[in-house]
């Protein structure tokens, strides 16, 4: 296209120069586009060179985003052989950079290939969750996805190292093709292939959360080929205990037991903890592939029977900091939750099991019906250990009083599994978070599963209970 434009501009300039000179001295000037003489000695003109053909641009309506012509040609010329098993629809509006516009549309890449889903990454929560969930479901369903305006509302828009490591891991799991995968990119296109087995590595090279890497890749790992002589395995490197993300202890002590109700099983071997700013943590995850996911019914929160408080320190942080955190957390839990047994475990990590200095605490409540809720906090430089402990305890107490069977951190992590399960799943939660609403929105559009959310009657404002119901698509593992 660039060469065609250069040729067209040069021809246009020559014609303009010819017109100007012919106007100034029409009798003496000869056109550069004419031949000197023909075979008979008379002056003739060469055939006029035609303007290069250019594909007409598609008509777009108000508020509609357009794409470069090269991008459209690339999509049309690269059909994917994989059959997703879903019926395709090319109706709907295109994505708009305005958040009030529809966030996702579909269009057919070829006459027989899967549809390209276009998604506005700045809608609703507008963060990395949209990227992780849409990429995972694209990999599982074989539906190419084009995500624009990634993290557009953040102070540093576009992909950060942890987001980049997550989407590259998903692409590696299926041998797909990824475009726009660089730090700072606000637009990504992903063409998935069939999920493969093997050993994979994802390294954020920062303190980016390892737990968020697993959140993105675990659904794909569950539908990988069944374990053979060399089962699938993924090594995740980065931060095990990071701000604004669940710690690794939440993953092993809360997330894993609850998702086992779907039939999800995986081993999680913590090799080394990593903290801000260096990272350096390492976790090895070995999943057990499933043929399909079972629906769940988690609707009875019961009453709290036991609270376990685990605190740790690493590096040069003294063990007394762990004692101070757990003691402050226990005092608050005993005061707020009457008649509950509280156990504390304080740990000093060996030097070989941690990179850098750090500390953290997690308080886990177990109920009479087997529900698990938690509150956690990471130690910060200059913050008293007692404040860190109380912060974790306050988060736990708030989760218990919300009246849900799962806490606010687990809500959105269950949405993808509910959408993929065979049949109807029901989960009781507290107030539905924006992360959860965003996850539901993306899951409905990517998988066409149906969700309903209703508020429970008779709940006061401090205990705003909700029921989230989903009829899943019953995705089957083709490798079984």
Measured distance CA(419)–CA(469) in Å, rounded: 10
124: its two tokens = 């609703």
| DSSP bridge partners of 425 | 470
Residue 367 in 3-state DSSP? strand
Crossing angle of helices 385-401/319-336, nearest 10°?
30
Residue 391 makes CB contacts below 8 A (sequence gap 6+) with 375, 377
Contact 402, 411 (CB under 8 A): no
Sort strands 450-455 and 44-45 into parallel, antiparallel or unpaired. unpaired
In SS3 terms, 256-300 reads as: HHHHHHHCCEEEEEEEEEEECCCECEEEEEEEECCCCCCCCEECC
Measured distance CA(152)–CA(146) in Å, rounded: 15
Q: HSE (CB half, 13 Å, CA atoms) of 65?
A: 20
User: How many Å separate Cα 289 from the centre of its chain?
Assistant: 21
| DSSP bridge partners of 297 | 426
Measured distance CA(22)–CA(18) in Å, rounded: 6
435 flagged as catalytic: yes
Measured distance CA(469)–CA(82) in Å, rounded: 31
Measured distance CA(476)–CA(457) in Å, rounded: 36
User: How many Å separate Cα 370 from the centre of its chain?
Assistant: 29
Measured distance CA(403)–CA(471) in Å, rounded: 23
Q: Which of 435, 441, 466, 479 is catalytic?
A: 435
Degrees, nearest 5: CA angle 78-83-86: 115
Cβ-based burial of 103 (10 A; exposed 0-12, middle 13-18, buried ≥19): buried
Sort strands 297-298 and 424-429 into parallel, antiparallel or unpaired. parallel
Sort strands 341-348 and 304-314 into parallel, antiparallel or unpaired. parallel
Measured distance CA(236)–CA(284) in Å, rounded: 6
- Which positions are annotated as active-site residues? 435
């Amino acid at each position: 296209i660039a060469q065609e434009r250069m040729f067209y501009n040069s021809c246009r300039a020559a014609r303009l120069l010819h017109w100007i000179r012919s106007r100034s001295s029409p009798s003496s000037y000869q056109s550069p586009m004419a031949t000197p003489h023909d075979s008979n000695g008379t002056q003739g003109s060469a055939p006029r060179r035609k303007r290069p053909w250019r594909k007409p641009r598609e008509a777009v309506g108000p508020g509609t985003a357009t794409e470069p012509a090269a991008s459209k040609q690339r999509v049309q010329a690269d059909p994917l052989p994989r059959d997703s098993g879903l019926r395709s629809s090319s109706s709907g509006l295109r994505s708009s950079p305005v958040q009030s516009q529809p966030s996702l549309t579909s269009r057919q890449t070829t006459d027989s290939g899967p549809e390209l889903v276009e998604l506005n990454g700045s809608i609703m929560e507008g963060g990395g969750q949209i990227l992780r969930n849409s990429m995972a479901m694209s990999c599982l369903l074989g539906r190419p996805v084009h995500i624009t305006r990634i993290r557009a509302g953040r102070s540093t828009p576009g992909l950060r190292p942890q987001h980049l490591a997550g989407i590259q891991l998903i692409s590696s799991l299926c041998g797909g093709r990824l475009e726009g995968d660089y730090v700072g990119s606000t637009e990504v296109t992903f063409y998935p292939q069939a999920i493969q087995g093997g050993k994979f590595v994802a390294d954020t090279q920062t303190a980016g959360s390892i737990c968020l890497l697993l959140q993105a890749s675990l659904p794909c790992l569950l539908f990988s080929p069944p374990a053979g002589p060399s089962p699938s395995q993924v090594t995740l490197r980065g931060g095990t205990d990071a701000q604004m993300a669940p710690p690794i202890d939440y993953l092993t002590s809360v997330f894993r037991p609850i998702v086992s109700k779907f039939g999800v099983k995986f081993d999680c071997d913590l090799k080394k903890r990593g903290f801000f700013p260096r990272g350096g943590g390492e976790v090895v995850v070995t999943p057990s592939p499933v043929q399909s996911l079972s629906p769940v019914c988690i609707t009875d929160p019961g009453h709290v029977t036991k609270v376990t408080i685990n605190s740790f320190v690493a590096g040069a942080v003294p063990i007394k900091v762990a004692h101070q955190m757990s003691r402050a957390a226990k005092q608050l839990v005993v005061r707020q939750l009457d008649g509950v047994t509280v156990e504390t475990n304080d740990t000093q990590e060996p030097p070989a099991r941690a990179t850098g200095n750090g500390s953290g605490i997690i308080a886990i409540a177990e109920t009479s019906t087997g529900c698990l809720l938690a509150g956690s906090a990471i130690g910060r430089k200059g913050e008293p250990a007692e404040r860190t402990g109380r912060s974790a305890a306050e988060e736990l107490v708030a989760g218990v009083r919300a009246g849900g069977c799962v806490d606010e951190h687990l809500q959105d992590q269950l949405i993808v599994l509910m959408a993929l399960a065979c049949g109807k799943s029901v989960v009781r939660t507290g107030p539905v978070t924006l992360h959860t609403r965003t996850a539901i929105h993306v899951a409905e559009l990517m998988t066409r599963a149906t969700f309903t959310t209703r508020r429970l009657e008779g709940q006061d404002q401090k205990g705003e209970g909700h029921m989230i119901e989903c009829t899943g698509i019953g995705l089957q593992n083709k490798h079984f």
